[in-house]
Amino acid sequence: MNKKTKATKKATPKKSNVFQSPKGMHDIFPADFVYVDKIEKEFKKISAAYGFERIETPIMENIHLFERGAGIASEVVSKQMFVVKTKSEDVLALRPEMTPGVMRAYLQSGASRSQIPGKYFYISPIFRYEQPQAGRFRQFNQAGFEILHSDDSAYDAQIILACYKMLEELKIKGISIKINSIGCKNCRPNYIKKLKNFYKDKTGKICRDCSRRLSENPLRLLDCKEEKCQPFKDSAPQSIDYLCGSCKHHFKSVLEFLDEVSVPYIIDSSLVRGLDYYSKTVFEIFTEDFSSALGGGGRYDYLSETIGGPKMPAVGAAMGVERIATVLKEKNINILVKNHFKVFLIYMGDEAKKKAFKIISDFYDAGIAVKESFSKESLKGQLRVADREKVEHVLILGQREVFEDTIILRNMITGNQENIPIKKIVNEVKKRIR
Number of residues that bind ligand HAM (CB under 6 A): 26
Cα torsion for 45, 47, 52, 54, to the nearest 10°? -70
295 binds ligand HAM (CB under 6 A): yes
73 binds ligand HAM (CB under 6 A): no
Binding segment for ligand HAM (CB under 6 A), chosen from 83-91, 104-112, 227-235, 310-318, is 310-318
372 binds ligand HAM (CB under 6 A): no
Contact 154, 259 (CB under 8 A): no
Beta-strand pair 279-287/266-267? unpaired
- ∠235-240-243 over CA atoms, to 5°? 130
Contact with ligand HAM (CB under 6 A): which of 183, 218, 313, 320? Answer: 320
- In the chain, how long is the greatest CA-to-CA distance? 95
Report the C-alpha gap between 429 and 360 in whole angstroms. Answer: 12
177 binds ligand HAM (CB under 6 A): no
Taking CB under 6 A as the criterion, which residues in 259-278 touch ligand HAM? none
DSSP track, 154-198? HHHHHHHHHHHHHHHHTT--SEEEEEEE---TTTHHHHHHHHHHH
What is the identity of the amino acid at 238?
Q
CB of 298 to ligand HAM, least distance (A): 6
Contact 317, 160 (CB under 8 A): yes
Which residues have CB under 8 Å from 33's CB, separation 6+?
A: none
CB of 283 to ligand HAM, least distance (A): 9
Contact with ligand HAM (CB under 6 A): which of 117, 183, 313, 316? Answer: 316
Q: Which is nearer to ligand HAM, 294 or 345 (CB)?
A: 294
97 binds ligand HAM (CB under 6 A): yes
C-alpha closest to that of 56 among 13, 6, 120, 12: 120
CB of 360 to ligand HAM, least distance (A): 40
Q: Which is nearer to ligand HAM, 76 or 221 (CB)?
A: 76
CB of 76 to ligand HAM, least distance (A): 6
293 binds ligand HAM (CB under 6 A): yes
Binding segment for ligand HAM (CB under 6 A), chosen from 44-52, 111-119, 296-304, 361-369, is 296-304
Facing residues of 94 across strands? 60
Binding segment for ligand HAM (CB under 6 A), chosen from 81-89, 165-173, 250-258, 314-322, is 314-322
Sites of contact with ligand HAM (CB under 6 A): 97-99, 128, 130, 135-137, 140, 142, 144, 146, 293-298, 300, 316-320, 322-323
